[in-house]
Chains A and B, each alone.
Chain A
């Protein structure tokens, strides 16, 4: 290995140039102060409630709220699309029972709905020259003595 050391002696002298690369004057006077300030800031953040920590992260890096909002929008859109396209929702127990109740109701009120339809067709035909068959009768209320 000592032979190798000698082989690279010129290179080692050249690498010594790196030792002359220095930071700006006075840099190390403030260095430890900056480190301690960072430690104190980290400790202060750790003592904050989690919600404040999240808000502070949002403030310090604008990319975070943008990413959060994008994720929220994507989730919302995905939810809407999946609800519209999913047939499974109709077959769900709650909605399924509601649907059966609704169909039962429409069956029992079938004559009522057909009556409404026939009345409407009668009115329509009378408007266009058809015979209007209307009759009125007085209501007969039983009188009560005082």
Chain B
């Protein structure tokens, strides 16, 4: 199976209103206890929610638990969802808050293996260029790079890490991130800038000037 998680979402403007209306119908049905409708909503967002939690925790087991708990909590709190923001933003906020609370309680812990990477990673020209002169064996280089990257991300504060994950990994806009993180766009940009600066310093050996 080849799959890339959380690619930046491409949206067709003409589809947005109908999709939003359809989503509101599903939300309304789920609010009245329709689990089939909620199942449909879970299927829509499961990959993106899981990916966000996973990139924040760097652990599949934790991400699995937290993502599922986020969906359960969202269902239980559906009555309080007024529709002021999109369901997607509201759901993201629940998952992000849950993850940040979890990370505050958790000590440094990370499990990584090359199996976590998909086949495409080894054929990504940017990544190959990054590791080709580091080690003679590509797999070792990719694995090492992945570990360094996750270790560097885990050194950032939760809010800075979240900004990087949502923008640079998941491709969300500054506006969407501001809504999710409940702050203004300037704060998002500032967090993103300092997070990148820190990452650049931590990954200096791997980041080449273009």
Please choose the segment from A7-15, A74-82, A116-124, A125-133 that sits at the chain B interface, where 4 or more of its residues have CB less than 8 A away. Answer: A7-15
Q: Does A100 contact B (CB under 8 A)?
A: no
With a CB–CB cut-off of 8 A, which chain A residues contact B199? 11, 15
Per a CB cutoff under 8 Å, which of B1, B46, B124, B164 touches A15? B164
Contact code string B184-210 (vs A, CB < 8 Å = 1, else 0): 000001000100100110010011111
B169 and A18 within 8 A (CB):
yes
B139 at interface, CB cutoff 8 A = no
| A8 cross-chain contacts in B, Cβ below 8 A | 196, 200
Residues of B within 8 A of A16 (CB): 124, 126-127, 168-169
- Flag whether A63 is at the interface (Cβ < 8 A): no
Write out, one digit per residue, whether chain B residues 19-47 have a CB within 8 A of any chain A CB (1) or not (0): 00000000000000001001100110011
Contact of A42 with B by CB under 8 A: yes
B68 touches A38 (CB 8 A): yes
The answer to whether the Cβ of A51 comes within 8 Å of any Cβ in the partner chain is: no
A35 to B130, CA, bound (A): 39
A42 CA to B54 CA in the complex, in Å? 24
A14-B203, A40-B35 known; A20 vs B124 contact (CB < 8 Å) = yes
How far apart are the CA atoms of A12 and B3 in the complex, in Å? 20
Chain A residue contacts of B3, Cβ below 8 A: 22
Cβ contacts under 8 Å, B50 to chain A: 23, 28, 31
Q: Are A11 and B203 in touch, CB under 8 angstroms?
A: yes
Chain B count of residues within 8 A CB distance of the other chain: 53
Given contacts A19-B4, A39-B35, contact A13 B116 (CB under 8 A): no
A10–B204 Cα gap in the complex (Å)? Answer: 10
In the assembled complex, the CB of B78 is this many whole angstroms from the nearest CB of chain A, namely 11
Closest residue of chain A to B130, judged by CB? A14
Q: With the chains together, A16 CA to B193 CA distance in Å?
A: 17
Partner of A36, one of B1, B35, B169: B35
B64 interfacial by beta-carbon distance below 8 Å: yes
Instruction: List 19 interface pairs A-B (beta carbons < 8 Å), by A numbering.
Output: A4-B193, A4-B196, A14-B149, A15-B149, A15-B164, A17-B145, A17-B146, A18-B55, A18-B149, A18-B169, A20-B127, A21-B5, A21-B55, A21-B117, A22-B3, A28-B47, A35-B68, A38-B69, A42-B76
Identify the B interface with A (CB < 8 A): 1, 3-7, 35, 38-39, 42-43, 46-47, 50, 54-55, 60, 63-64, 67-69, 71-72, 75-76, 116-118, 120-121, 124, 126-127, 130, 145-146, 149, 164-165, 168-169, 189, 193, 196, 199-200, 203, 206-210
6 tightest A-B CB contacts, nearest first: A20-B121, A32-B42, A13-B126, A35-B71, A15-B168, A18-B169
Q: Which A residues contact B (CB, under 8 angstroms)?
A: 1, 4, 8-28, 31-32, 34-36, 38-40, 42
